[in-house]
Amino acid sequence: MYDHVKGFRDFYAPEMAARRETIDTVESVARGYGFREVGTPALESAQMYADKSGEEILEELYVFEDKGGRKVALTPELTPTVARMVVAKQQALAKPIKWFSTRPFWRYEQVQQGRFREFYQTNIDIFGSSEPTADAEVLAVAADALTGLGLEPTDFEFRVSHRDILGGLLAAFDGEIDQQAAIRAVDKREKIERDSYADLLTTAGLSPAQVDRFDDLLTTPADRLTELVSFAGTDRVAAAVGNLQAVLDAAADLGVREYCSLSLTTARGLDYYTGVVFECFDATGDVSRSVFGGGRYDDLIEGFGGQPTPAVGVAPGYATLALLCQRAGVWPAEELATDYYVLQVGETRETAARIARDLRGRGHVVESDVSGRSFGAQLDYADSINAETVVIVGERDLADGEVTLKQMSSGDQQQVPVEAFPGDHDRPTVDDFD
């Protein structure tokens, strides 16, 4: 007996039904906003990740040499791939480019709750607009997806920040400060001890006094952002504060301001973010990890050799999203759903097949016997797949020109003329023939 590889999961049909419903909801919201699906490869040149994030990133990836001597990596995220695709057809693509894609990614990580080595997410990105409306639309898609899943405003919050505020504040301190390292420290603020956090900032170049001051600044409330501008005294911070405010205003226009709270301690770990960044959290705190995040990455396309092209995106991941939905009690039922079971006994195959075909033509899930089973065994099976209605096609009934409908929940039965079934009915039930 073989086992699956550690950190990789098998999704059996009931669980997959719940996952598919969730993915369908997210994708249908993205489609509604005019995001277009793209298809992307599972392997990329390992060099692409090394160039973008440093050679050390390869330690966390599935990297190997293929039989043609290419050093390749199983894609750990979609952003570099879509950036590559934008660069490859930059001239031909009308802007804004609005893409989405749902697929697995892979990282060689410690396996824990909500974290696997193979994980699924829907990436949703806009390329070619630097307007606050674009950031707000990404927030709106994410919010509509979550409410579409049945989550309430009290269930989740988007903690919104701005990379250039963080960078601008750091630049305002005396001394040689490694801004990327300091921002990575901020990203870890909620996850590590206070001392370790201070150590990381000190290593990044801040003095102990600067660490305290910086951390105070990070907790500035939303209505006092001008204090940050005063502290830094630079156009960069003034512009960043203005941009953040404009994004929140645009989010209000789109009806999703209520989900957003200012949180300068939200930094996002990845180096490529340049503007507004945000993370979605469980508002109750029961799910302690960030559910997913997103933000603006205006320099990546140019860094990949393309024309300067602003970009902003979000990527709901299904492992953590499932935890949030389960906590909130809105995770779809993990069970099979069947509209009809056509129970066929005796020499009635042709009629049974015709009825099954007609019901399928109306868009229903219709099973019938493929195992040569008895009446009773078929009824048991129909029950096991949660069939709503069983259509019994028996020899004696059929000789009288009839079939029998059985509603499985109530046990109610009704004989109906075979030529009138399903007839004009889109979704015939016992009640239609009372």
* Range 295-324, binding a copy of itself (CB under 8 A): 304-306
- In sequence order, the 6+-apart residues with CB closer than 8 A to the CB of 35 are 98, 99, 100, 124, 141
**370 sits near a copy of itself (criterion: CB under 8 A):** yes
Q: Environment class of residue 170 by beta-carbon count within 10 Å: exposed (0-12), middle (13-18) or buried (19+)?
A: buried
Closest approach of a copy of itself to the CB of residue 231, in Å: 30
Instruction: Assess 333 for contact with a copy of itself (CB under 8 A).
Output: no
According to the binding rule CB under 8 A, does residue 384 interact with a copy of itself? yes
Which stretch in 127-135, 215-223, 258-266, 320-328 sits in contact with a copy of itself by CB under 8 A?
A: 127-135
- Cβ atoms of residues 272 and 297 within 8 Å: yes
Of residues 38-77, which lie at the interface with a copy of itself (CB under 8 A)?
A: 38-45, 47-48, 59, 62, 64-68, 70, 72, 74
SS3 letters for 135-165? HHHHHHHHHHHHHHCCCCCCCEEEEEEEHHH
Of the residues 77, 157, 282, 369, which one makes contact with a copy of itself according to CB under 8 A: 369
Rounded Cα–Cα distance for residues 279 and 266 (Å): 7
Smallest separation, CB 376 to a copy of itself (Å): 15
CA 326 from chain center: how many Å? 15
Q: Which of residues 100-119 bind a copy of itself (CB under 8 A)?
A: 104, 106, 108, 118
CB-nearer residue toward a copy of itself: 327 or 360: 360
Sole binder of a copy of itself in the list 26, 78, 134, 169 (CB under 8 A):
134
Peptide bond into 96 cis (omega under 30): yes
Piece of 176-184, 229-237, 290-298, 365-373 that binds a copy of itself (CB under 8 A): 365-373
Q: Which one of 4, 91, 112, 410 is in contact with a copy of itself (CB under 8 A)? A: 4
Cα dist. 134→33, 95, 313, 314 in Å?
11, 12, 9, 12
Q: Give the binding-site size for a copy of itself (rule: CB under 8 A).
A: 95
Cβ count within 10 A of residue 298 = 17
Tell me whether residue 111 or residue 192 sits nearer to a copy of itself (CB atom): 111
